[in-house]
Amino acid sequence: MTERPLTGRIRPGAPPPDREAYERAGGYQAMRRALLHMTPEEVVGDVTKSGLRGRGGAGFGTGQKWSFVPKPKPGQRRYLVANADEMEPGTFKDRLLLEGDPHQLVEAVVVSAYALQATDAYIFVRGEYKLAIARLTQAIGEATAAGYLGTDILGAGYALSLHLHASAGRYICGEETALLTALEGRRALPRSKPPFPQVSGLWGAPSVVNNVETLCNVPHIVNNGPEWFKGLGIGPDGGTKLYGMSGRVRRPGAWELPIGTPLREILEEHAGGMQEGYRLRALLPGGASTAFLGADQLDIPMDYGSVEKAGSRLGTGTAIVLDDRACPVGMIRNLEHFFAQESCGWCTPCRDGLPWVERMLQALEEGDGEDEDLAQLQRHVGLLGMGKTFCAHAPGAMAPLGSGLQKFREEFAQHVHQHRCPWPAGGLH
């Protein structure tokens, strides 16, 4: 359990533990410890000392993020939002936690909300996660009946209302300010920053948005201390990480491992290596909005700094594998189709640029591409890069395209000069 604090209670194929089973396994002890024996400042201090970084993709320091919230004012509402939207292609790690151990998230929300002195909390969950929604609803009901939510929790004088909100969809809802706008009942559009949500977020009140996996670490840090958490990792980062892998591997799935586990170990030991008859060409290490790493980069530790130094991002830690039978241009076109249709349309470069990118890639796949298209694609990588758009949606979309143009230049050129996709049926299989 201590080696797999996040998933130790999860039994594949079995229903999640109810409140009583969760408590028998040590659940809700962090809530008691925090509310009865620690001040909110002490909880924030332990999370900060632990070095916990956001597990949703950005990797920002959780305690540092919490420290930006101003001191509470009398009668002021404050919000904590658990981001369970999880629409990043190739990513399914939070679903494992939501379905397998929902009380863990409920406890994590209570402890984290207490640290922030939040008056209300929301779990913003992807609408398609029907089973997760049902199990979270049951867990919230059980926690409320036990007095773990509501007024005067454990007699500590702290009150919290927890609400479950099923998202109406759109990938942009994963961006924290667009999520808050959607939660307010308006069109999911990102907001200008500053002001940051910690100062002015949901309905103009101080708000913190954290990823599900991030929050689920908090009760374990409170129970075991920041030094214990640091000791779980391999290298500079602390804790465990939910890594996943999809594509032509023998055992696609998700595993809780020490953060910093080498990419080769994840692929060969946990995912079982490539399927028979397939070779690894490259992979996206942290979901669809990260840059490709080559087959010669498998010895990279999967921590934030090492993956960034290698030219990509850890992102969600869920890798998408590209094998030698798949067309890299076709794979990138598929990704850009997703990003183009999921643009919120708020800024011109993203709204107009991503469809242009998709159309050029489609032309290449259909044999109508020209040499100039490759230059135009490279130009769009710069035009839609970080700092050129309102939020990080388009820059994320450019990560697989920009790295793909570098790593698969020959394959792109073959599409132009052969006037067709060199892979049978576009490399689809």
What is the tens place of the pLDDT at every residue in 128-161? 999 999 999 999 999 999 999 999 999 999 999 9
Confidence at residue 114, expressed as pLDDT on a 0 to 100 scale: 98
Instruction: Give the closest residue to 215 by CA, choosing from 374, 384, 30.
Output: 30
pLDDT score of 3: 87
Q: Helix, strand, coil % (nearest 5) of the chain?
A: 45, 15, 40
Share of the chain above pLDDT 70, in %: 98
Amino acid at 196: F
CB neighbour list of residue 429: distance below 8 Å, 6 or more residues apart = 325, 326
Q: What is the CA radius of gyration of the chain?
A: 22
Q: What distances in angstroms separate CA 154 from CA 104, 149, 259, 364, one per listed residue?
A: 18, 9, 34, 63
List the CATH code of the domain at 328-427: 1.20.1440.230
116 sits in which H/E element: helix 102-116
Residue 2 has pLDDT above 60, yes or no: no
Residue 429 has pLDDT above 50, yes or no: no
Return mean pLDDT, the chain.
95
CATH number of 243-323: 3.10.20.600
pLDDT at site 349 = 93
**91 φ/ψ angles, rounded to the nearest 5 degrees:** -115, 130
Which amino acid is residue 231, in one-letter code? G
What integer pLDDT is reported at residue 425 of this predicted model? 56
Q: With a cut of 80, say whether residue 115 has pLDDT above it.
A: yes
Give domain limits for the chain.
19-232, 243-323, 328-427
Indicate whether 209 pLDDT > 80: yes
- Position 169 scores a pLDDT of 81
Residue range 353-390, pLDDT digits in tens: 999 999 999 999 999 999 999 999 999 999 999 999 99
Q: What angle do CA 307, 90, 368 make, to 5 degrees?
A: 95
Supply the CATH classification number for the domain 19-232: 3.40.50.11540
